[in-house]
Amino acid sequence: MEPLPSWNDSAAKSAILDFVARTTANGGAEFVPPAERIAVFDNDGTLWCEYPLQVQVFFALAEVKRLAQQDPSLLKKPAFKAFLAGDLKTLTSLPKQEVFEPAFATHAGMTVEEFHANASRWLRNAEHPKLGRRFVANTYAPQRELLDHLRANGFKTYIVTGGGLEFVRVIAESHYGIPPEQVIGSSTRMKLETGEGGMVLRKLPALGSFDDRDEKVVNIALHIGRRPVFAFGNSDGDLAMLRYTLGGAGPRMAWYLHHDDAEREFAYDRDFRLSVFKDGLDHAAEYGIGLVSMKNDWKRVFAEDGNGRA
Amino acid sequence: MEPLPSWNDSAAKSAILDFVARTTANGGAEFVPPAERIAVFDNDGTLWCEYPLQVQVFFALAEVKRLAQQDPSLLKKPAFKAFLAGDLKTLTSLPKQEVFEPAFATHAGMTVEEFHANASRWLRNAEHPKLGRRFVANTYAPQRELLDHLRANGFKTYIVTGGGLEFVRVIAESHYGIPPEQVIGSSTRMKLETGEGGMVLRKLPALGSFDDRDEKVVNIALHIGRRPVFAFGNSDGDLAMLRYTLGGAGPRMAWYLHHDDAEREFAYDRDFRLSVFKDGLDHAAEYGIGLVSMKNDWKRVFAEDGNGRA
């Protein structure tokens, strides 16, 4: 089968296919050894829909009532108050880290296994309020094909997400073919507990790493230890990662997905506070980052029809 | 070739071969799917010699003079003072984290690339003061064969070390066949800097993670996200990791290497302050952890003859 069938025959598609061909041609001038073929992808807005709120924020919305009952002092925090009031306007006006705070709070006190089970249960059924389909149906078909094509050519594909590590791991293997050890993300601190049932890791109400902007590069160094050769993002939160990728010697490629498709998905960039795309958009060309237009470069957007069928 | 040729035909060798056969037999009752075949190894004292000081501490010894000239206040710290005096007695009486402090300090202010180059240069020539051979010659042949055997059977092999992430990565691929992304270890904090030459990560004089004891399990959760099925250590610092490994459902196996070979290497356990082996030794049987005797279970100890020849 021809690779990238959900991509239009555009310059972006040609450039990607050409890059993969050049870097994997044995004996070619731009050959990259298999061990160095590291590709990193942001998740929210790059691999699945993040608008009008990231999926994990919707999950937190569903969870946060339970938390506020346990600890009413949480209601003093603007993000929690806005959450409970369903006040999207306030939420989208707050800094990203603050908006994610309730999301991280929904982990606290649970073991890693409990959190995973809880998030899995929610993700099986929860629906996107505007698209009217399950959240998990909103992964992007062209990106899943791109991940497959990279892997078929010996690339190791990673997710590097501002979202929670364990949250994204719930769907990473089933939906993107990416195993848990190749998911890098935000994390809470954890504590090892030894009880009657053996050892468990309990999540603490304290942020370990907020995997956004520069921290994405730091975490790539900690988890991978190599500079990627291919990177894909969609917001200013990914800019450091894309520039870091392009900064190495030899062939490199980095892309931004531009959400310019109000018809099939959403059109947003500079004004989306929760995942601003402004510096990246203004300076992409200067930095050598390519722009993929959802509207023009993609033949098809979503990987599933909303009922779980591919 | 028969697997594990440097192991004597002991019960330990049979148990390992049997475990690998059982967990990889298609359709067998104890079959473990390839994606879940995670094996974790401590490094110092498990994969290479750590006595009378861990290799990275010797590296720090060589580096610390330069540091003390830059910042004389360091001399107030007991570990630094003992380092400069070559006072092994004091050093081995300090807590492990304190002894590693000068080692982490030797990273500070360098970029990741500079540190790597510096450590590589040192490791190419530096010699073990008692064994009279290069440090890199002191990896264990039986363990390298075990890593190979596990990988040949679809296991993904990881190092989970109290040593520094970047230090161990210098030799992990060349000596153990373990790529940088499968090395988990202690780390300093880092800062991303954007300068004329592009982006670099600079190491800060602050500990990020001290990957010892419970923290090994926390870091396994962060980096791998799966409970290992096979684990190997040699000290109390590995006990949490070994017990966590054994605590999962299905077939599991965990080993301790016991340094009881004063003739070919060293004999030490309870009294070695820098890597105490006491709780683990006393309770191994109770926890279901096997003991490998260097003296009795290994036909041969070191992988190289000291001149870099295998």
Return the structure tokens found at B278.
């006491």
Cβ A192–B217 below 8 Å, yes or no?
yes
Question: CB–CB of B60/B105 below 8 Å?
Answer: yes
Structure token pair of residue A168? 């994204």
pLDDT score for A291: 98
Give the pLDDT of residue A306.
52
Phi, psi values for residue B148, rounded to 5° = -60, -45
In terms of residues, how long is chain B? 310
pLDDT of residue A310: 47
Q: Is B27 left (phi over 0), alpha (psi -120 to 50) or beta?
A: left
At A305, the pLDDT band (50, 70, 90 cuts) reads: low
pLDDT attached to residue B310: 47
Instruction: Report pLDDT for B305.
Output: 64
Residue where the block lists tokens 């809470």: A188
State the complex-level ipTM.
0.93
Residue A76 in this model has a pLDDT that exceeds 50: yes
Percent of chain B predicted with pLDDT > 70: 98
Among B114, B174, B222, B242, most A C-beta atoms within 10 A, so best to mutate, is B222
Q: In this prediction, what percent of chain A has a pLDDT beyond 90?
A: 75
Q: Which residue has the higher pLDDT, A179 or A102?
A: A179
> For residues B57 and B169, what is the distance between their CA atoms, to the nearest angstrom?
16
Helix (H, G, I), strand (E, B) or coil at B164: strand
Give the CA-trace dihedral at B7, B11, B12, B17, to 10 degrees. 80
Sheet holding A156-164, edge to edge: A198-209, A183-195, A156-164, A38-41, A230-233, A253-258, A290-293
Are the CB atoms for B91 and B84 separated by under 8 Å? no
By percentage, how much of chain B surpasses pLDDT 90? 75
**pLDDT at residue B206 in the model:** 81
Average pLDDT value for chain A = 92
pLDDT tens digits for B200-245?
999 987 889 999 999 999 999 999 999 999 999 999 999 999 999 9
To test the contact with chain B by mutation, choose from A223, A227, A239 the residue with the greatest count of B C-beta atoms within 10 A, namely A223
Dihedral (Cα; B67, B72, B75, B81), 10-degree rounding: 50
Q: Given an 8 Å threshold on Cβ–Cβ distance, is A180 in contact with B225? A: yes
| pLDDT of B102 above 70 | yes
Residues of A in contact with B172 (CB under 8 A): none
- Name the pLDDT band for A252 (thresholds 50, 70, 90): very high
Average pLDDT over residues B39-43: 99
- Distance CA(A192)–CA(A175), nearest Å, equals 30
Rounded Cα–Cα distance for residues B72 and A17 (Å) = 56
Average pLDDT over residues A59-69: 82
The predicted pLDDT at position A249 comes to 93
Q: Closest chain A residue to B184 measured between Cα atoms?
A: A223
Q: How confident is the model at residue B106 (pLDDT cuts 50, 70, 90)?
A: confident
Between A33 and A57, where is the model more confident? Answer: A33
Taking an 8 Å cut-off on Cβ atoms, the answer to whether B199 and A240 are in contact is yes
Above 70 in pLDDT, residue A70? yes
pLDDT at B306 over 60: no
How far is residue A115's CA from residue A205's CA, in Å, rounded to a whole number?
Answer: 13
Q: How far is CA B232 from the centre of its chain?
A: 10
Which two tokens mark A23? Answer: 């870097």
What does B17-29 look like in DSSP terms, one character per residue?
HHHHHHHHSTT-T
- Work out the pLDDT band at B192, boundaries 50, 70, 90: very high
The structure tokens listed for B85 are 């005096």
pLDDT in the model for residue A74: 83
Does the pLDDT at position B267 exceed 80? yes
Question: In the predicted model, is pLDDT for residue B300 greater than 70?
Answer: yes
Instruction: Tell me which residue of A217, A303, A189, A289 sits closest to B215, measured CA to CA.
Output: A189
Residue in B with minimal Cα distance to A170: B225
Assess whether pLDDT exceeds 90 at residue A71.
no
Q: What are the structural domains, with CATH classification, of chain A?
A: 11-297 (3.40.50.1000)
DSSP string, B81-99: HHHHHT-HHHHTTS-HHHH
Average pLDDT over residues B139-158: 98
More confident residue, B304 or B4: B4
Min mean pLDDT across A135-144, A183-192, A272-281, B75-84 is at B75-84
Q: Contact A225/B201, CB-based, under 8 Å?
A: no
Helical pair A112-125 and A55-70, crossing angle rounded to 10 deg? 120
| Spatial CA neighbour of A18 closest among A149, A128, A175 | A149
Write out pLDDT tens, residues A180-213.
Answer: 999 999 999 999 998 877 899 999 878 899 999 9
Q: Do B192 and A240 touch (CB under 8 A)?
A: yes
